[in-house]
């Protein structure tokens, strides 16, 4: 069976929203949770010592130095004091730039503000430290998405390969972009394919091969738009805007995560102009209509695409 049209797989993607994918979840306790707790407890002990010495009008310089050194470690990043520093329009990075062991004036000022405006206890529940770690775990590892797609492809009979000899030998092959092996220059040399997407000169994520047909795929995982995610969306859309120049070459933009659901909802009838998501929707629709060898897929669409490609 030959591949169907890009609109066919697009419709499958539209009609099959992304579920909560536990591949991207961080469900276990952090491996360093006990070390975070121990460090945070030491910070509290040093703060208590500084407060006591100041109340007694005694010199606390050595304790400030010890606290500064401890606070500059990675394991101090989940402490209340570290969070308070951010509330003071400052960061530990700024303190590193502005202070040193012989000049801790700014650091001392921030610590004194903390002692003045915040209460602290001897308790250091690991649950709230884990909660801070969880809050900062929003960035998904790009390798998770690659592994997910490779697993889907190998389940359909594609063989994962790590070098060009294996890639050329297997009728159904899948691999990931890798500098010095499967990169832009080697793809141009080995396959005669010039992967240039506007000003973007970067490696993509996945390559699929069916006999003499090649599929080049860029994958993104997004929960919401905004900030750096807008740049990632532009990169995906630029890929499908590009004419492959051959029916034997396919470009795939893959997006999973909950932003995919928002993007694909009502995508055939975008809302008012000059809004971010509708503009992205129009760009995708226009690119797919213009370039029949370009595909926009979510998980369900990719599964069907790979299934049909393998036949």
**What gap in Å lies between CA 201 and CA 191, rounded to an integer?**
17
- State whether 229 and 243 are in the same domain: yes
- State whether 43 and 124 are in the same domain: yes
Average pLDDT over residues 165-174: 97
Give me 131's structure tokens.
Answer: 């909660």
pLDDT reading at 1 higher than 80: no
Number of Cβ within a 10 Å radius of residue 147: 13
**What gap in Å lies between CA 263 and CA 255, rounded to an integer?**
10
**Number of domains forming the structure of the chain:** 2
- State whether 231 and 180 are in the same domain: yes
- State whether 59 and 41 are in the same domain: yes
Write the pLDDT tens digit of every residue in 33-56: 999 999 999 999 999 999 999 999
- State whether 14 and 100 are in the same domain: no
pLDDT reading at 107 higher than 70: yes
Q: Are 193 and 249 in contact (CB under 8 A)?
A: yes
Sign of the dihedral defined by the CA atoms of residues 138, 141, 142, 147, in that order: negative
pLDDT reading at 157 higher than 90: yes
Alpha carbon 84 to its chain centroid, in Å, reads 27
- State whether 167 and 129 are in the same domain: no
Write the pLDDT tens digit of every residue in 190-218: 998 888 765 555 679 999 999 999 999 99
Q: Answer yes or no: is 199 within a domain.
A: yes
Per-residue pLDDT, 141: 64
- Residue-by-residue DSSP string for 246-266: STTEEEEEEEESHHHHHHHTT
pLDDT reading at 135 higher than 70: yes
Q: Are 197 and 242 in contact (CB under 8 A)?
A: yes
Write the pLDDT tens digit of every residue in 266-289: 888 776 665 678 889 999 999 999
- State whether 67 and 206 are in the same domain: no
Q: Last residue of a domain, which of 115, 135, 155?
A: 135
What is the span of the domain harbouring residue 65? 33-135
- State whether 287 and 206 are in the same domain: yes
- State whether 219 and 101 are in the same domain: no
Q: Are 135 and 144 in contact (CB under 8 A)?
A: no
pLDDT reading at 31 higher than 60: yes
Q: Which of 82-96, 194-208, 220-234 has the lowest mean pLDDT?
A: 194-208
Per-residue pLDDT, 209: 97
- Band of residue 142 on the pLDDT scale cut at 50, 70, 90: low
The mean predicted confidence, pLDDT, of the chain is 92
**What gap in Å lies between CA 282 and CA 269, rounded to an integer?**
9
C-alpha dist (Å) from residue 302 to 47, 66, 85, 225, 255? 55, 54, 45, 22, 10
Q: Answer yes or no: is 25 within a domain.
A: no
Identify the residue with better confidence: 117 or 136: 117
Percent of the chain exceeding pLDDT 90 equals: 78
**What gap in Å lies between CA 163 and CA 154, rounded to an integer?**
16
Average pLDDT over residues 228-255: 91
- State whether 164 and 112 are in the same domain: no
Q: Which pTM was predicted?
A: 0.83
């Amino acid at each position: 069976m030959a591949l169907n049209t890009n609109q066919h797989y697009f419709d499958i993607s539209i009609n099959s929203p992304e579920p909560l994918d536990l591949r991207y979840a961080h469900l276990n306790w952090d491996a360093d949770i006990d070390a975070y707790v121990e460090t945070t407890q030491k910070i509290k002990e040093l703060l208590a010592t500084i407060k006591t010495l100041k109340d007694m009008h005694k010199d606390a310089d050595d304790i400030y130095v010890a606290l500064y050194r401890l606070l500059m470690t990675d394991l101090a990043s989940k402490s209340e004091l570290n969070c308070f520093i951010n509330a003071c329009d400052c960061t530990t990075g700024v303190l590193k730039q502005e202070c040193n062991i012989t000049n801790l004036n700014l650091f001392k000022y921030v610590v004194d503000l903390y002692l003045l405006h915040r209460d602290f206890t001897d308790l250091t529940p690991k649950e709230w430290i884990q909660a801070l770690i969880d809050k900062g775990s929003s960035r998904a590892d790009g390798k998770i998405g690659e592994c997910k797609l490779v697993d889907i492809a190998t389940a359909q009979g594609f063989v994962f390969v790590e070098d060009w000899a294996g890639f050329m030998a297997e009728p159904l092959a899948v691999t990931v972009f890798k500098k010095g092996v499967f990169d832009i220059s080697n793809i141009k040399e080995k396959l005669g394919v010039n992967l240039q997407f506007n000003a973007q000169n970067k490696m993509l994520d996945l390559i699929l091969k069916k006999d003499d047909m090649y599929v080049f795929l860029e994958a993104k995982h997004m929960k919401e738009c905004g900030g750096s995610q807008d740049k990632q969306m532009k990169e995906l859309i630029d890929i499908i805007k590009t004419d492959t120049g051959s029916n034997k070459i396919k470009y795939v933009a893959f997006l999973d995560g909950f932003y995919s659901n928002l993007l694909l909802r009502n995508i055939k009838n975008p809302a008012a102009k000059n809004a971010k998501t509708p503009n992205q929707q129009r760009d995708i629709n226009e690119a797919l209509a213009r370039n029949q060898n370009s595909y926009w897929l979510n998980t369900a669409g990719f599964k069907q695409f790979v299934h049909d490609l393998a036949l």
